[in-house]
């Protein structure tokens, strides 16, 4: 068996095209243009590239993009003041502060300062609670994109065993909530889980979101399982000529056992930005009390 590769890049392109259609309708029928404000503190190269891609794709879908680049020495109070202005700005429907932040700024304080209606990352405690209780909170982008790929690949998930490796607030915990909402039987594994390989082998759906390069091996996989690799890790090439990007899954091994598998890159990664745009569109509709045109 060789696993079917799940084309996150292609799926994300189709999702962005649908969002662009919905935005066109929102403008024409209601005069509303969704606006996304992205705040970048400092000059981390990876974050700069990510923010640039976000801005480019925001504009391509017909939305307004507002970029705020702040010096690494900006104070927490200055950043919170900016967030307050964005909360009050009617042209801004989504606010994203790029993480991580410098050590002198509290990520918790920043996340909680963003009004929940504009929290398109889905990190505010109110949205976390709403997602957990099934009350329509904004879903974090990476789990949202992962769930889209799983449902597209498998269809009805009722009764399937799902194992999420990783318990972060950003991916692991919300991923488990989304799988529960689809009637899966869900186990969240972590660094203290006993006999993790045996647990992983019980999974019809395995989501690897632990941040350790190629940790999940081929003999951890139940034959035919759907494997979602959320990891993005830079490892040095064997010949020392630079770095390559790998996931949390040993791709070549797992591909020989799994039924379907997301590659890295080109799997979950492209879905994250596309889902950020989806959340911005949804936030704009909710803020203006408008029904959405289509579902995601």
> 252-268 pLDDT, tens per residue?
999 999 999 999 999 99
CATH tag, 31-115: 3.40.50.10860
Residue 48 has pLDDT above 90, yes or no: no
Instruction: Tell the CATH topology of 141-269.
Output: Rossmann fold (3.40.50)
Identify the pLDDT of residue 52.
86
Residues 6+ apart with CB under 8 A from 180: 186
Residue 235 has pLDDT above 80, yes or no: yes
Segment 136-162 mean pLDDT: 97
Segment 29-46 mean pLDDT: 92
Residue in the block written with tokens 């799902």: 162
Residue 173 falls in the annotated catalytic set: no
Residues 6+ apart with CB under 8 A from 235: 213, 214, 243, 244, 246
Residue 78 falls in the annotated catalytic set: no
Residue in the block written with tokens 């139940």: 222
Active-site residue identified among 57, 98, 177, 222: 98
CB 232 within 8 A of CB 245: yes
Q: Are the folds of 31-115 and 141-269 the same? A: yes
Identify the pLDDT of residue 119.
98
Active-site residue identified among 121, 204, 229, 248: 121
Residue 121 falls in the annotated catalytic set: yes
Active-site residue identified among 54, 118, 173, 222: 54
Question: Which tokens hold the place of 203?
Answer: 């999974």
| For the chain, percent of residues with pLDDT exceeding 90 | 86
> 52-64 pLDDT, tens per residue?
888 999 999 999 9
Would you list the domain boundaries of the chain? 31-115, 141-269
Look at phi and psi of residue 124 and say left if phi exceeds 0, alpha if psi is from -120 to 50, else beta: beta
């Amino acid at each position: 068996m060789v696993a079917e590769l799940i084309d996150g890049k292609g799926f994300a392109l189709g999702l962005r095209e649908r969002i662009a259609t919905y935005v066109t309708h929102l403008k024409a029928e209601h005069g509303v243009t969704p606006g996304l404000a992205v705040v970048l503190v400092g000059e981390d190269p990876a974050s700069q590239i990510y923010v640039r891609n976000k801005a480019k794709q925001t504009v391509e879908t017909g939305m307004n993009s507002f970029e705020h680049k702040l010096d690494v020495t900006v104070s927490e109070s200055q950043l919170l003041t900016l967030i307050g202005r964005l909360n009050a700005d009617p042209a801004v429907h989504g606010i994203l502060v790029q993480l991580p932040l410098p050590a002198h700024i509290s990520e918790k304080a920043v996340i909680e300062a963003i009004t929940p209606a504009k929290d398109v990352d889905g990190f505010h405690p109110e949205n976390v609670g709403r997602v957990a209780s099934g009350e329509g909170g904004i879903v974090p982008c990476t789990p949202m994109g992962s769930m889209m790929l799983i449902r597209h690949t498998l269809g009805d998930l009722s009764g399937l065993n799902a194992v999420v490796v990783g318990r972060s607030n950003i991916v692991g915990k919300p991923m488990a909530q989304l799988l529960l909402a689809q009637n899966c039987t869900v186990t969240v594994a972590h660094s203290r889980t006993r006999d993790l390989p045996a647990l992983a082998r019980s999974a019809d759906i395995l989501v690897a979101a632990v941040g350790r390069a190629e940790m999940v091996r081929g003999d951890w996989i139940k034959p035919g399982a759907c494997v979602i690799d959320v990891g993005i890790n830079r490892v040095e090439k064997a010949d020392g000529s630079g770095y390559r990007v790998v996931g949390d899954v040993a791709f070549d091994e797992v591909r020989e056992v799994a039924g379907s598998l997301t590659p890295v890159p080109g799997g979950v990664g492209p879905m994250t930005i596309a889902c950020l745009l989806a959340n911005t569109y949804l936030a704009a509709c909710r803020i203006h009390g408008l029904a959405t045109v289509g579902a995601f």
